[in-house]
A and B are shown apart, each in its own frame.
Chain A
Amino acid sequence: QQPVQSPQAVILREGEDAVINCSSSKALYSVHWYRQKHGEAPVFLMILLKGGEQMRHEKISASFNEKKQQSSLYLTASQLSYSGTYFCGTVDTGNQFYFGTGTSLTVIP
């Protein structure tokens, strides 16, 4: 039931792009994306709804493929502040919410 994210970890140089994928085994109603810095609580980035548009938060955007039960997070021209662990959160058609396995992102100068 827990969504699986890939990659598990990624290291980028400042200015590079990255894609984080989230895949669920269940039919989804929505997908949430959060970022967590070490020792802190997760911070909400965006929600993608079934039938909705691709969303954007600053230079971070995301898409949701309902048929494939997948979502992808796109980080463009990464900044040092993007470092952290990214979690997707999926809401299935039974209204159950589950956090994904997480992707650790490190941006270096």
Chain B
Amino acid sequence: GAVVSQHPSRVICKSGTSVKIECRSLDFQATTMFWYRQFPKQSLMLMATSNEGSKATYEQGVEKDKFLINHASLTLSTLTVTSAHPEDSSFYICSARDSLSGVDSNQPQHFGDGTRLSIL
């Protein structure tokens, strides 16, 4: 089955540090990847859609200068949380759809294992 690898799985760092999270599709190509943020006992909230070779599309209220997204290849997207502060602490999850399997909306999203970010 389709596998998405995300790491690191856990990051603890000081306020002001920038943190980079990687999301890789291991056995399929993904022209589009998605970045979500999830607070405890809440649903996943889409932060941005990462597009291979072009700029990411950010959801309303998400600061693009704060959450930098790069999608340099068909199998890798990265999210960098710049100058992280305690309020950025959360569970960040990426997902990807197989670009070659047909109509996008018919394809399931395959999720990475998530990154638990704790800013002290």
Contact = CB atoms under 8 A, between A and B. Distances in A.
Interface of A: 2, 29-30, 32, 34, 40-44, 47, 49, 87, 89, 91, 95, 97-102, 104
A49 B106 contact: yes
B105 A2 contact: no
A104 B43 CA distance: 11
Contacts, number: 48
Contacts of A102: 42-43
Query: Main SS of the interface on chain A?
Result: strand
Contacts of B26: none
Q: How large is the interface on B (under 10, 10 to 19, 20 to 34, 35 or more residues)?
A: 20 to 34
A41 B41 CA distance: 13
A30 B44 contact: no
B80 interface: no
A47 B97 CA distance: 13
B89 to A, nearest CB: 15
A98 B105 CA distance: 12
Query: Main SS of the interface on chain B?
Result: mixed
B113 interface: yes
Contacts of B110: 44
Nearest to B104: A95
Interface of B: 6, 34, 36, 41-46, 93, 104-114
Nearest to A9: B41
A101 B93 CA distance: 17
Contact of B46 (A30, A97, A104): A97
8 smallest CB-CB distances across A and B, nearest first, come from A41-B111, A44-B108, A91-B105, A99-B44, A102-B43, A41-B114, A99-B43, A29-B105
A38 to B, nearest CB: 10
A95 B34 CA distance: 14
18 contacts: A2-B43, A30-B105, A32-B109, A41-B112, A41-B114, A42-B93, A44-B108, A47-B106, A87-B44, A91-B105, A95-B104, A97-B34, A97-B105, A99-B44, A99-B46, A101-B43, A102-B43, A104-B41
